[in-house]
Chains A and B, each alone.
Chain A
Amino acid sequence: MSFLKKSPWVLHYAATSCNGCDIELLACLTPLYDVERFGIVNTGNPKHADIFLVTGSVNEESRKVVENLYAQMPDPKVVVAIGACALSGGIFKDAYNVYGGIDKVIPVDVYVPGCAARPEAIIDGVVQALDILEQRGKARKRQRKMVAA
């Protein structure tokens, strides 16, 4: 990835996270890690977002919210699951109110491991998501051309 054509905006939602990954995610936005230098901005509005960052596994309540937020995001979009809980349920896998990983509810593109996931790992995950986002954008353009022709 040499340079970015787009400033990707991210949307963060803590599904049933213990806060550990959430604060590491916020730490990415602050001076030491500063992902804003890649043009990445944290937004509160799903309609402005390109990348959906989910921390924590899903339970009955948060399942609906995660599905809603995903549905509200415009295409092309990428989902990054952050932390052991978002991958498989992690330490809470056996808990009665936990379904498991985020991929039980919405399609996930990048998996970032760790408990809690380190900011470096999160940034790496987001950078990988950018590649996927760019490819999806191109594919969409091709599709549109084909439809027009």
Chain B
Amino acid sequence: MSNTTIVPFGPQHPVLPEPIHLDLELDDERVVQALPSIGYVHRGLELLAERHDFIEMANVAERICGICSFIHGQGYCQGVEQLMGVEVPPRAVYLRTVWGEISRIQSHLLWLGLSADALGYESLFQHSWRIREMLVDIIEETTGGRVIFGVCKVGGVRKDVDDAVLKAVKGRMREIQTSFNEIASVFREDPTVKKRTVGVGVLTAEDAHALGAVGPVLRGSGVARDTRKLGYAAFGELDWEPVVEQDGDCYARCIVRVREIDQSFDIIAQCLERMPDGEVDVSVKGKRPKGEAMFRLEQPRGEVCYYISADGKKNLARFRVRTPTFANIAPLVHMLKGCELADVPVIVLTIDPCVSCNER
């Protein structure tokens, strides 16, 4: 007879902003097995594609998740544009890239804060979110929304940003980067952070590859794979390299995100430098999407796949999303095997679980 006990983790848990449930089978304080169960946030969003027309659907796609909202909207719009053969003006492409990267920094800062909270480092949590608010201000000034931007539409973007505003944004980005560097050194060097994260929840490169990990989890294990390298939006024209860390533990995943924030600041600066002039949208009146498209984008949490199928009607025939958190749950269950019960919240957070993306 086994001496294991089962401890439920979630769906409502202090470190989790969102509901996910894990049954932890424990031998003393050590996790033998973790069984995830999901479905608390399932809404049936994909079927809404059959009820809303393809232009309205961009708004629904943006609400797959409130943290990576812009990138979901961008992914959907790019797919439909590809099916309709619409060429988006270069200024719109660059604006999309800038907003996408701002939302990546905002998401990573949010995650750094939440993970600091899971470590019990409350003041670091508050500082991360203080810096995040400065970015949210820029988002609000340029798009009008704080978390749901609502600027991406089929055929381009809804709003142009004045060059004067862009120049101001460039200056403020530098200020934000300076304040970020102050707290980044805490994540990099602080002994308490290191004590909780170094060597915890190790995922080797082979396991990460075999279990299909994506995003910072994969890059933290030493695999240099970033979907932005496919060159969608303006990424093909910019100068950057994927961030990779070798150790595969919680600390490595944390450092990947810290370094990615720095990289995103650099990408935004490059975009603002090269920002082309001209229109920001093209009319798609009278055009209807037809055919099938499958493509990938890099979200803050990793690679997201979209499948769109349309038969020339107002509504899409099928809209399917494979989100990064779903891909990262199998590696998470693997990482949890053999860890201490007290480390479970830290490990769960390092995959940056976004449950509403995951379940849609």
Selected contact of B146 from candidates A26, A96, A116, CB within 8 Å: A116
Contact between B43 and A16, CB atoms less than 8 A apart:
yes
**How far, in angstroms, from A98 to B47 measured CA to CA in the complex?**
12
Contacts of B132 in A (CB 8 A): 27, 30
Contacts of A95 in B (CB 8 A): 43-45, 47-48
| Chain A residue, CB-CB nearest to B125 | A30
**How far, in angstroms, from A92 to B13 measured CA to CA in the complex?**
25
Report the stretch among B58-66, B76-84, B243-251, B265-273 that lies at the interface. B58-66
Interface readout for A61-89 with B: 1 if CB under 8 Å, 0 if not? 11001000100000000000000000000
Report the stretch among B14-22, B92-100, B157-165, B277-285 that lies at the interface. B14-22
- Smallest Cβ distance from B76 to chain A, in angstroms? 14
Is B299 interfacial (CB 8 A cutoff)? Answer: no
Contact between A14 and B66, CB atoms less than 8 A apart:
no
Is B11 interfacial (CB 8 A cutoff)? Answer: yes
Known: A18-B65, A97-B44, A116-B147. A23 touches B110 (CB 8 A): yes
Most buried by B among A12, A27, A118: A27
**How far, in angstroms, from A15 to B355 measured CA to CA in the complex?**
11
Interface readout for A105-127 with B: 1 if CB under 8 Å, 0 if not? 00000000001101000000000
Is A19 interfacial (CB 8 A cutoff)? Answer: yes
- Smallest Cβ distance from A145 to chain B, in angstroms? 35
Contact between B47 and A96, CB atoms less than 8 A apart:
yes
| Chain B residue, CB-CB nearest to A56 | B41
Most buried by A among B41, B44, B127, B133: B41
Selected contact of B356 from candidates A17, A69, A118, CB within 8 Å: A17
Interface readout for A44-55 with B: 1 if CB under 8 Å, 0 if not? 111000000000
Is A20 interfacial (CB 8 A cutoff)? Answer: yes
Interface size class on chain A is 35 or more
Most buried by B among A24, A26, A57, A91: A91
Contact between A14 and B126, CB atoms less than 8 A apart:
no
Contacts of A23 in B (CB 8 A): 17, 66-67, 110, 147
Interface readout for B149-185 with A: 1 if CB under 8 Å, 0 if not? 0000000000000000000000000000000000000
- Smallest Cβ distance from A41 to chain B, in angstroms? 12
**How far, in angstroms, from A94 to B45 measured CA to CA in the complex?**
9
Is B129 interfacial (CB 8 A cutoff)? Answer: yes
Contacts of B39 in A (CB 8 A): 61
Interface readout for B76-116 with A: 1 if CB under 8 Å, 0 if not? 00000000000000000000000000000000001001000
Interface readout for B23-44 with A: 1 if CB under 8 Å, 0 if not? 0000000000000000111111
Is B255 interfacial (CB 8 A cutoff)? Answer: no
Contact between B66 and A18, CB atoms less than 8 A apart:
yes
Is B5 interfacial (CB 8 A cutoff)? Answer: no
Selected contact of A27 from candidates B40, B47, B60, B133, CB within 8 Å: B133
Contact between B19 and A62, CB atoms less than 8 A apart:
yes
**How far, in angstroms, from A98 to B46 measured CA to CA in the complex?**
13
Contact between B40 and A21, CB atoms less than 8 A apart:
no
Selected contact of A65 from candidates B12, B43, B44, B147, CB within 8 Å: B12
**How far, in angstroms, from A44 to B11 measured CA to CA in the complex?**
11
Is B225 interfacial (CB 8 A cutoff)? Answer: no
Is A128 interfacial (CB 8 A cutoff)? Answer: no
| Given A17-B66, A27-B132, A91-B60, 9 other A-B residues pairs in contact with their CB atoms under 8 A | A12-B17, A14-B18, A14-B19, A14-B355, A20-B69, A30-B126, A62-B19, A65-B11, A91-B63
Chain A: residues with CB nearer than 8 A to chain B? Answer: 12-24, 26-27, 30-32, 43-46, 56-57, 59, 61-62, 65, 69, 91-92, 94-98, 115-116, 118
A-B contact pairs, 16 of them (CB 8 A): A14-B17, A14-B41, A15-B40, A16-B356, A17-B66, A18-B356, A19-B67, A20-B66, A23-B67, A44-B12, A59-B41, A59-B43, A65-B40, A91-B59, A95-B45, A116-B147
Chain B: residues with CB nearer than 8 A to chain A? Answer: 11-15, 17-19, 39-45, 47-48, 51, 59-60, 63-67, 69, 110, 113, 125-127, 129-130, 132-133, 136, 145-148, 354-356
